[in-house]
Amino acid sequence: MVVARAPVATDDPNGVTCAMLLRNTVLYKVSHKGSMTGTAMQIGLDMMTRPDLVAMISVDHEEALKKRWLMPAPGLLAALDSRTRGRIIRSDAGVPRTKGKDSDLSNAEWQEFQHSVHLTDLYIDLDVSIPQVTAGERKKLEANWTAANERRVYLVDRSLLVRSGRKRKPSCARSTGWWTST
């Protein structure tokens, strides 16, 4: 695999990092229908530490079983249940009616979760409260967002370059000046 990465400013103590974004995640849309390969554990789910984390899985378990797929994966489902404290929304099953027996959510937290989810035939809504920020905080957040968007990570599969006959670095690597090959 070939990795090209834009330089990251290390002198900015207020810069946005992936770890910060994961720590502040309140809704995790589980990828690839809840398969084990679709969710990074150590550098993903394990870093999502907010106590109000909710997971949403778009899956049809019955259809998956017809194809002999085990989706969502039991191991991932258990990890999500533990990390979200039972707050898992599924497209095939909706919202759990009661909190799990192992859940440490208070009754008030469970009721808040239940009331924040709205199911329809077409979509699922989750109300998320977003704290209001001051003008100064907003300016700082916008600056951090801009800085984060300027730090791009590019992954290029070397075999694709070889098959395509490309001998040069991808344009993303040329424009950033970074090129690392493994």
Task: Report the length, in residues, of the chain.
Answer: 182
50-59 tens-digit pLDDT: 999 999 999 9
Residues 149 and 111 grouped into a single domain? no
Residues 104 and 139 grouped into a single domain? no
Output the pLDDT for position 100. Answer: 80
Look at residue 22 and tell me if it is in a domain.
no
Q: Radius of gyration (Cα) for the chain, nearest Å?
A: 20
Look at residue 100 and tell me if it is in a domain.
yes
Cα distances from 127 to residues 19, 104, 114, 118, in angstroms, run 24, 22, 10, 8
3-class SS at 22?
helix
Over range 75-103, report the average pLDDT: 90
Look at residue 101 and tell me if it is in a domain.
yes
Residues 94 and 51 grouped into a single domain? yes
The domain boundary residue, chosen from 126, 149, 167: 126
Look at residue 15 and tell me if it is in a domain.
no
Residues 106 and 45 grouped into a single domain? yes
28-29-32 Cα angle (round to 5): 135
| 125-131 contacts, C-beta under 8 A, 24 or more apart | 126/27, 126/54, 126/56, 126/89, 128/26, 128/27
Residues 58 and 90 grouped into a single domain? yes
Look at residue 21 and tell me if it is in a domain.
no
Output the pLDDT for position 9. Answer: 45
Answer yes or no: are the C-beta atoms of 180 and 155 closer than 8 Å. Answer: no
Residues 45 and 91 grouped into a single domain? yes
3-class SS at 170?
coil
Look at residue 16 and tell me if it is in a domain.
no
Domain count, the chain: 2
Q: What pTM was estimated for this model as a whole?
A: 0.66
Residues 139 and 155 grouped into a single domain? yes
In the predicted model, what is the mean pLDDT of the chain?
78
97-139 tens-digit pLDDT: 888 877 899 999 999 999 999 988 888 899 887 777 788 888 8
Residues 119 and 140 grouped into a single domain? no
Look at residue 70 and tell me if it is in a domain.
yes
Range(s) of the domain holding residue 152: 2-9+134-181
